[in-house]
Amino acid sequence: MTELLRRGRASLAFAFFAQGAAFALLVTRIPAIQDRYGISDALLPVFLAAVPVLAGVGSVTTEQLVKRVRPSRLLRWSQPVVLLALLAAGAGGQGQLAAVAVALGVFGLSVGMLDASMNMLGVSLQRSYGRSIMLSFHAAYSLGGIVGASLAWAGAHWQLALWVSYLPVVAVLLPATLVGSRWYVDGDAAAPVAQGSGGGGVVFKLLLPLCLVMTFAYIGDSTVSNWSAKYLKDVLGSSEQLATVPYNVYMVTTLVGRALGDFGVRRFGAAAVVRLGALVAAAGFAVVAVAPGAWVGMLGFTLLGLGLCVLVPQTFAAAGRLFPGASDAAVARLNIFNYVGFLVGSPLVGAVGDAWSYRGAMLLPMVLVLVTLVYARSFATSGGRYGGGHEWPRAADVGRGSNGL
């Protein structure tokens, strides 16, 4: 049984890696997609907003589907759809708006199902292990994002057609994820129900603090992904080449923070790690806001990666602890606020920047991240649950909250 869990963990980590690569390949080539299909600047925000909106619909749909279908099966078949939709987004003919609209629509719906089911399996595997492993899955996602962004850079550098850039990646990842899906491990639906979880249902009032933390974290993340290059170039006066560095630095520090974060959760508890992450992220935004030049600004973005990286994985893990008898439903609902933050963050910062200043705009996500401290108690663990010195011995990983089947 322990070997089964190890294989399940490795296969799920690869699924996170593949999704990170696919998503990075899409978002980093948006300008190329716009040029290929002749999408106007006025219409582009509509296309970009449609993806997270439809992803939210996919997450809601997943909550209903897992009542009848195991999350592992949803993940097994949604991941190939995401990869094929990515390929389709780059394979349409010049100016074929309808084709790219359909491809991005399918990508959005399937990515919502994929994100929800991946994190459902991550939460249930963590319960089976009896110790924090959730951050390691998101570290694999970050690694995939770095690989995907690097491949996208290579494609742009050599001026490859989009489908030429996407086809080798899809050709490798699609069969690999299908083979790896044989070892996905579903959690035990009969796990004990936490006090206050509504007899196995999800009480939204109890989930709301985690929803807010998720939203704030993704507002911070989207601020970095959408505004770091512009901020460094237009506000801090860097060169165009140097302006591409902060996001890469952010991705690398996100990977490092997540790779090490589980050890921090096991030693100090989830609440302490979340508090520290929020403080470091807030400090990062403060440094960015007052930076006199580009290199100090990059220091701020480095701090942001180290701080923000722990919030999302720990929010999913906290939902699983809060509603162990209904963790799949809790994760699906929480996942919606991933897309809310992504959808709201960039336009909100842009509006504040245009109306006031972009330095001042960086203070907005800083304040929102600090609000996370108010809700840190929602991440606290109690005796008999992992983290905070209550992890179970490795020899007793199986059978303490889930049988891993």
Domain ranges of the chain: 1-186, 189-389
Please tell me the predicted confidence (pLDDT) of residue 222. Answer: 92
Contacts of 186 (CB under 8 A, 6+ apart): 70, 71, 72, 121, 124, 405
Q: Which burial class, exposed, middle or buried, applies to 163 when counting CB atoms under 10 A from its CB (0-12, 13-18, 19+)?
A: middle
Class of the CATH-defined domain 189-389: mainly alpha
Instruction: Give the model's pLDDT for residue 381.
Output: 72
Tokens 């997450």 correspond to what residue? 59
Burial of 287 (0-12, 13-18, 19+ CB in 10 A): buried
Angle at 83 between CA 186 and CA 332, to 5 degrees: 40
Alpha carbon distance 29, 159 (integer Å): 12
Model pLDDT, residue 284: 97
What whole-number distance in Å separates Cα of residue 159 and Cα of residue 165? 9
- Residue given tokens 């696919």 in the structure block: 22
Write out the chain's pLDDT in tens, 405 residues: 588 999 999 999 999 999 999 999 998 888 888 889 998 888 988 888 899 999 999 999 999 999 999 999 999 999 999 999 999 999 988 888 999 999 999 999 999 999 999 999 999 999 999 899 999 999 999 999 999 988 988 888 898 999 999 999 999 999 999 999 999 998 753 343 333 333 457 888 899 999 999 999 999 999 998 888 889 988 999 887 788 788 888 999 999 999 999 999 999 999 999 999 999 999 999 999 999 999 999 999 999 999 999 999 999 999 999 998 899 999 999 999 999 999 999 899 999 998 999 999 999 999 999 999 999 999 987 543 444 333 434 333 333 333 332
Q: What is the spatial distance between Cα 303 and Cα 343, in angstroms, rounded to a whole number? A: 23
pLDDT at 188: 58
CA-wise closest residue to 87 among 145, 33, 50: 33
Distance CA 379, CA 368 (A): 17
CA distance 157 to 180: 32
| Residue spans of alpha helices (H) in 38-96 | 44-65, 71-91
Pull the structure tokens for residue 297: 């600004």
Tokens (6 digits) for 364 = 């907005």
At 310, list the tokens: 């722990």
| 384, 62, 89, 305: CA torsion to nearest 10 | -20
27-47 b/e (C-beta count within 10 Å ≥ 16 → b): bbbeebbbebbebeeeeeeeb
Instruction: Give the predicted TM-score (pTM) of the model.
Output: 0.89
pLDDT of 187: 72
* Encoded amino acid at 137, one letter: F
Give me the residue label for tokens 């165009």.
240
Structure confidence at residue 195 (pLDDT): 37
Q: What is the pLDDT of residue 193?
A: 37
Q: What is the CATH number of domain 1-186?
A: 1.20.1250.20
Q: Do domains 1-186 and 189-389 have the same CATH topology?
A: yes
